[in-house]
Amino acid sequence: MKLYLVPTPIGNLEDITLRALRILRDEVDTILAEDTRTSGNLLKHYNISKRMQAFHLNNEHQQVGALAERIAAGERMALVTDAGTPAISDPGFLLVRECLRLGVEVECLPGATAFVPALVNSGLAADHFIFEGFLPHKKGRQTKINEIVKYSYTTILYESPFRLLKTLQQLSETAGPDRHVAVARELTKIHEENVRGTLSEVIEYFSKKEIKGEIVIVLEGANQ
């Protein structure tokens, strides 16, 4: 009667722990996957054959109750997302909360998540930081940016390649072009890139190239 939260690689398939592989191979009956095709490729790479069930942002509200009850009844499940640690800007929180409500043990394994290497590699202060995840796309976006640029500590954001320049420009307009920032792209993958400088310098750099891949923005705090 346990739910395992199992981080999966954010790019490089070698970034998975021996413990995670053992849990997925030997300790669970069912793997809840954000995308069964993506997770299926990972399992195939490590020769793991296991029943999978889709669990993602579009169906988690409908499935949480039934899944938690199945675990409480004795079924062993692991939750994985497409990349990284479950519940970090991904599904997971609702299922964890319901399992705890039912008295089900929850065990979270340590492992891959994008914001930690992006922060440590940024050269910006890492002793005090806040993780904001994705900014709102429309409503409340500028309000959130106005709040973020006033923080005295480092701020970490996730962003899509299609909105990176817009976000950097909005940060520059609000915080000023000389605020330092680091942008990590395609972490752990072949084309990993870490770009550091002032907002104006980083905007200039990315305005001259096609932007692809997953993005992490690390913004210097005010008065740092």
Which residues of the chain form beta strands (DSSP E)? Answer: 2-5, 30-33, 51-54, 77-80, 105-108, 129-134, 154-159, 180-185, 193-198, 215-219
Residues 26 and 71 in one domain: yes
Maximum alpha-carbon separation in the chain: 57
Domain contains 144? yes
pLDDT-derived band at 196, boundaries 50, 70, 90: very high
Residues 93 and 156 in one domain: no
Domain contains 224? no
Give percent above pLDDT 90 in the chain. 96
Query: Which DSSP state fits 8?
Result: B
pLDDT value for 194: 97
Amino acid identity at 117: P
Residue labelled with tokens 């500590």 = 153
Local structure of 175: helix, strand or coil: helix
pTM of the entire predicted model: 0.92
The domain containing residue 55 runs over which residues? Answer: 2-108
Which residues are bridge partners to 156 per DSSP? 131, 218
Number of domains in the chain: 2
The residue from 61, 92, 108 where one domain ends is 108
The residue from 76, 108, 140 where one domain ends is 108
pLDDT digits (tens, 9 = 90+) for 32-63: 999 999 999 999 999 999 999 999 989 989 99
Domain contains 18? yes
By the 10 Å C-beta count (0-12 exposed, 13-18 middle, 19+ buried), 140 is classed as exposed
pLDDT value for 224: 76
